[in-house]
Chains A and B, each alone.
Chain A
Amino acid sequence: MEIAKANLEVFAATLLELARQDSDLLVVTSDSRGSAKLASFAKAAPGQIVEVGIAEQNLVGVAAGLAAAGKNVFAVSPACFLTARSLEQIKNDLCYSDRPVTAVGISSGVSYGALGTTHHSLHDYAVLRAIHNIVIVAPADNFETREAVQAAARSTKPVYLRFGKKPMPHLPRVDSGFELGKASLIREGIDLTFLACGETVAPAYEAAELLAREGIHCRVLSVHTIKPLDQAAIWQAATETGRLITVEEHSVNGGLGEACASLLLQEGIPCRFKIVGFPDDHTVTGNQEEIFRHYGIDGTRLAMTARQLSEKQ
């Protein structure tokens, strides 16, 4: 697959386009404009970027106030800090107070690799899923990123956008459209479905390619919107392919996998099911790729998991 840009760069470029059309669009940063690739935004639209310093709680509180006064606000900070340090501000000042701010968690998951757990966000889906009135989105590639940023700017609800920093491949896709809350079909298949999100869609797709050579045809869905979940697409995948593997750069507790499991169990849809993610353990050290491999999130290992699930009766 052709490697394109990091989703973050596409985010920054899309935001600048939007800012040029809407003078009420503001981006708020907490000493994070460099890591968010927003330096050129700051140069091009200096009146539309607000710096609050290394103060993530204040970042979200101020964003809520700006939104209260009619601004279309993107509050940008590393996902690890944004969804932990300022969680109460997200819960109360945005979600409970109904301020349609977009909270952008950058360098999410284990993107920061060897910087360690302080810099990882493997809890964000779980905590935000349990908070009412927020849309949770992890785009898989540059296309989904651009679409997601535009959709977030139009949203009348708070949105959490989650981006990694690694250059991502352009994923082939069966669906050409993009809609928040609707999973994107990346690859058609009848034997098994990979339900992945964010930067795990690419390895799931690689696994599907490997398995196709062996005659196992996997469907791949980019479940870019973790909340609200595309229930219909997940039912359909379970009913039509009978085997599901969820893949996420997140703890196995409370993320995409458990959201799917809950849906299927409560709807009484039987299927073989496996959650791939981060176990409840201290995270192994290394760079993002090494960490992914350690937990089985690469093409080869996901293919192995798929074979095991296919063998089991």
Chain B
Amino acid sequence: MLTESDLQRKSVQYRKELLRLIKGCGSGHTGGDLSCLDILNVLYNRILRVSPETCKSPDRDYYIQSKGHCAEALFVVLADKGFFPKKDLETLNRYGSHYIGHPTRGVNGVEQNTGALGHGLAVAGGIALAGKMDRKDYRVFTLLGDGELAEGSNWEAAMMAAHYRLDNLVAIVDRNGLQITGSTEDVCQLAPLDEKFEAFGFAVQRCNGNDVGELVRALDTVPFRPGKPSLVLAKTRKGKGISFMENVAKWHHGVPNDDEFSRAMAELEAAEAALA
């Protein structure tokens, strides 16, 4: 099992691979990828009971990425976990490739095709409900963007998850405070998200979603309350790890130019050295 410092090193390694991938294919949701990478790291390296060997088992844990636009981050982690050869990612966004800008089931390890926001929580709820019916022990995790929560379908799914007492369902909100246009609170106020989800019947925990230790401690204790779906309100920074991308809305979608790329990689090298 990876220790907290192993996970920290992984996070830096993943960020380097992510930037290389985005630079290489010339496209990517860089800001949101970087904000959720620590969450994916902790999920796949510490929490999820799923591996390339078990990813078709009816007893596996499920992960549904509702914020599908951050496919690059998911691909980096799935490749590292051996769901497919890393080399496959060289075909990202290329003609005929399964590796495209949103997750699809053509990629080993991906559970559901996403990309239109507001779908993941309902699908995850359906899988969780089937688990309850069949008395299975698996858990279902889904990652939502914060801007995504303006989609009403999330709240339909939230109502149902609480109604059916789906404590095998864990929703994680990547609370980076930004969407395409700017601050989520300026676009259409989301706060207070914890109270909203609590009112909808979730047990809520806040954590720093860019701190692997805090994420492990939160996700290790799900369900937070028996009989309730869990919500992790993971406070993150969009563009996390690259100083000039952090909390800058324009990096929602964007590829660093050569100079930006070398500066970014230098920052990550320094972060890596500091952890060594």
A65 pairs with B125, CB closer than 8 A:
yes
B130 pairs with A61, CB closer than 8 A:
no
B116 pairs with A69, CB closer than 8 A:
no
Interface residue A248 (Cβ < 8 Å from any Cβ of B):
no
Within 8 A of A (CB), among B95-118: 104-105, 111-116, 118
A contact residues around B105 at 8 Å (CB): 97-98
B159 pairs with A88, CB closer than 8 A:
no
Known: A68-B111, A70-B58, A92-B114. A57 touches B130 (CB 8 A): no
Interface residue A71 (Cβ < 8 Å from any Cβ of B):
yes
Interface size on A, residues (CB 8 A): 26
Interface residue A62 (Cβ < 8 Å from any Cβ of B):
yes
Interface residue B195 (Cβ < 8 Å from any Cβ of A):
no
Most buried by B among A50, A69, A89: A69
Secondary structure of the B contact surface, majority rule: helix
Q: How far is the CA of A47 from the CA of B131 in the complex (A)?
A: 14
Interface residue B150 (Cβ < 8 Å from any Cβ of A):
no
B contact residues around A238 at 8 Å (CB): none
Question: Quick one: CB contact mask for B130-154 with A, threshold 8 Å, 1 for yes?
Answer: 1101100000000000000000110
B123 pairs with A64, CB closer than 8 A:
yes
Within 8 A of B (CB), among A156-200: none
Interface residue A114 (Cβ < 8 Å from any Cβ of B):
no
Q: How far is the CA of A178 from the CA of B102 in the complex (A)?
A: 40
A contact residues around B119 at 8 Å (CB): 61, 88-89, 92-93
Interface residue A52 (Cβ < 8 Å from any Cβ of B):
yes
B contact residues around A63 at 8 Å (CB): 126
Within 8 A of A (CB), among B36-65: 58, 62
B122 pairs with A69, CB closer than 8 A:
no
B113 pairs with A65, CB closer than 8 A:
no
A65 pairs with B128, CB closer than 8 A:
yes
A64 pairs with B129, CB closer than 8 A:
no
A65 pairs with B133, CB closer than 8 A:
no
Which of B58, B125, B133, B134 contacts A61, CB < 8 Å? B125
B contact residues around A55 at 8 Å (CB): 156, 159-160
Which of A47, A57, A68 contacts B156, CB < 8 Å? A57
B contact residues around A47 at 8 Å (CB): 133
Q: How far is the CA of A71 from the CA of B160 in the complex (A)?
A: 18
B contact residues around A66 at 8 Å (CB): 126-127, 129-130
> For residue A63, which residue of chain B has the nearest CB?
B126
Known: A52-B160, A62-B125, A65-B124. A88 touches B130 (CB 8 A): no
B contact residues around A93 at 8 Å (CB): 112-113, 119, 122-123
Which of A65, A70, A71, A96 contacts B122, CB < 8 Å? A65
Q: How far is the CA of A197 from the CA of B206 in the complex (A)?
A: 55
Interface residue B157 (Cβ < 8 Å from any Cβ of A):
yes
Q: How far is the CA of A96 from the CA of B125 in the complex (A)?
A: 19
Q: A55-B160, A70-B58 are in contact. List 7 more A-B contacts (CB 8 A).
A: A55-B156, A58-B157, A61-B126, A64-B123, A65-B129, A68-B130, A69-B127
